[in-house]
């Protein structure tokens, strides 16, 4: 099912499709995100709104739709937002992305506190560098590849993560019954501090 998450009816279509197929919605993972690389001096209003539309507004509206369904059907639920280490460690060239992921981390806490009484837990995973199709696109130029190697040099575990390692963290949070409002950093130690390597 291909749905553009920035369209108004996307959240209701997603929840309706899940209920139709599975009979209920117990888990929502807000994973889609965009990370265009543009110097802050050149970010247009349109690009800023696109980044916030996909990375922050869509996770909020999908969570709200899922929570409305859960509350009106007396069901518990678990939401996992895919944030980023860029939500706590700033990087040049992606000011809108960093800001959207920082906001997503706070949104995770705010919804966790507000929806706890309904049995809905809200958590986030914050990946560091993970080799995905989106990242492969960024490394399609010589400059992109150089930056990629510099990023890897800053990761204490000295390698990018694998998508499977992020999925495992998501799976843990979906079933961690006493964890809510938490952001689990799955970034090889990147957000913990600097290494002494060059």
Ligand X SMILES: NC(=O)c1ccc[n+]([C@@H]2O[C@H](COP(=O)([O-])OP(=O)(O)OC[C@H]3O[C@@H](n4cnc5c(N)ncnc54)[C@H](O)[C@@H]3O)[C@@H](O)[C@H]2O)c1
Does position 40 interact with ligand X (CB under 6 A)? The reply is: no
Using CA atoms, how far apart are residues 82 and 183, in angstroms rounded to an integer? 9
Does position 82 interact with ligand X (CB under 6 A)? The reply is: yes
Q: Is 97 a catalytic residue?
A: yes
Among 25, 29, 33, 79, binds ligand X (CB under 6 A): 33
Considering only residues 168-187, where is the footprint of ligand X by CB under 6 A?
A: none
Return the C-alpha torsion angle 15, 17, 23, 28, nearest 10: -40
Rounded to the nearest angstrom, the gap between the alpha carbon of residue 79 and the centroid of all alpha carbons in its chain is 11
Does position 84 interact with ligand X (CB under 6 A)? The reply is: yes
Which CB atom, from 7 or from 76, has the smaller least distance to ligand X?
7
Return the C-alpha torsion angle 18, 21, 23, 26, nearest 10: -40
Among 32, 43, 152, 179, binds ligand X (CB under 6 A): 32
Q: What are phi and psi of 82, to 5 degrees?
A: -95, 100
Does position 188 interact with ligand X (CB under 6 A)? The reply is: no
Is the Cβ–Cβ distance between 6 and 58 less than 8 Å? yes
Which CB atom, from 119 or from 172, has the smaller least distance to ligand X?
172
**Which residue's structure tokens are 């965009």?**
34
Using CA atoms, how far apart are residues 41 and 65, in angstroms rounded to an integer? 36
Other beta carbons within 10 Å of 168? 13
Helix axes 95-115, 58-72, angle to 10 degrees: 10
Does position 5 interact with ligand X (CB under 6 A)? The reply is: yes
Among 106, 135, 176, 179, binds ligand X (CB under 6 A): 135
Does position 54 interact with ligand X (CB under 6 A)? The reply is: yes
Q: Which stretch binds ligand X (CB under 6 A): 29-37, 40-48, 177-185, 188-196?
A: 29-37
Which CB atom, from 31 or from 192, has the smaller least distance to ligand X?
31
Among 15, 61, 98, 127, binds ligand X (CB under 6 A): 127
Q: What residues act catalytically?
A: 97
Residues near ligand X (CB under 6 A) are 4-6, 31-35, 54, 82, 84, 127, 129-130, 132-135
């Amino acid at each position: 099912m291909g749905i553009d998450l920035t369209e108004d009816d996307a959240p209701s279509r997603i929840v309706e499709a899940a209920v139709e197929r599975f009979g209920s919605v117990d888990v929502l993972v807000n994973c889609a995100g965009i990370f265009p690389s543009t110097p802050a001096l050149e970010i247009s209003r349109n690009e800023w709104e696109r980044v916030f539309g996909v990375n922050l507004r869509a996770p909020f509206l999908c969570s709200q739709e899922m929570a409305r369904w859960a509350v009106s059907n007396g069901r518990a639920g678990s939401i996992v937002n895919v944030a980023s280490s860029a939500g706590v460690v700033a990087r040049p060239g992606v000011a809108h992305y960093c800001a959207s992921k920082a906001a997503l981390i706070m949104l995770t806490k705010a919804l966790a506190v507000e929806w706890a009484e309904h049995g809905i837990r809200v958590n986030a995973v914050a990946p560091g560098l993970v080799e995905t199709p989106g990242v492969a696109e960024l490394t399609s130029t010589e400059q992109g590849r150089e930056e990629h190697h510099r990023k890897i040099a800053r990761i204490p575990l000295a390698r990018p993560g694998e998508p499977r390692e992020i999925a495992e963290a998501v799976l843990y949070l979906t079933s961690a019954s006493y964890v809510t409002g938490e952001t689990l950093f799955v970034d090889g130690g990147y957000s913990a501090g600097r290494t002494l390597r060059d």
